Amino acid sequence: MDHQNSSDRLQRQMFNISSKGITCEECKNPITELPFEPTERKDGGYGKLYCYECNKKRMKDRGLKENFGGGNRY
Ligand SMILES: [Zn+2]
């Protein structure tokens, strides 16, 4: 009955960045949300940013136990 599974979602604040028109460095899909607010650089870009899925893959590759969105443990 309790919403136990949704607690993880509530903890992590998501920033809506759909208006910034940022695309994923990996799959080139538009990124609408990030768990952090991207900082604009001097050249007007935001550096390399990745969508949720690609972020998850990269963290796995790097062996970081960030628990990004839960799921399979390394
Ligand atoms: Zn991506």
Task: Calculate how far, in angstroms, residue 39's C-alpha sits from the geometric centre of ligand 1.
Answer: 19
Residue 7 has pLDDT above 70, yes or no: no
Whose CA is closest to 54, among 71, 29, 72, 17? 29
Residue 50 burial by CB count (10 A; 0-12/13-18/19+): exposed, middle or buried?
buried
Render pLDDT for 20-67 as a digit per residue (tens, 0 to 9): 999 999 999 999 998 889 999 999 999 999 998 998 899 888 875 555
Task: Calculate how far, in angstroms, residue 41's C-alpha sits from the geometric centre of ligand 1.
Answer: 21
Please indicate, yes or no, if residue 3 is contained in any of the structural domains.
no
How many structural domains are present in the chain? 1
Please indicate, yes or no, if residue 14 is contained in any of the structural domains.
no
Please indicate, yes or no, if residue 44 is contained in any of the structural domains.
yes
Task: Calculate how far, in angstroms, residue 6's C-alpha sits from the geometric centre of ligand 1.
Answer: 24
Q: Which domain holds residue 26?
A: 19-61
- pLDDT recorded at residue 12: 73
- pLDDT recorded at residue 49: 94
- Residues with CB in 5 Å of ion ligand 1: 24, 26-27, 51, 54
Task: Calculate how far, in angstroms, residue 2's C-alpha sits from the geometric centre of ligand 1.
Answer: 32
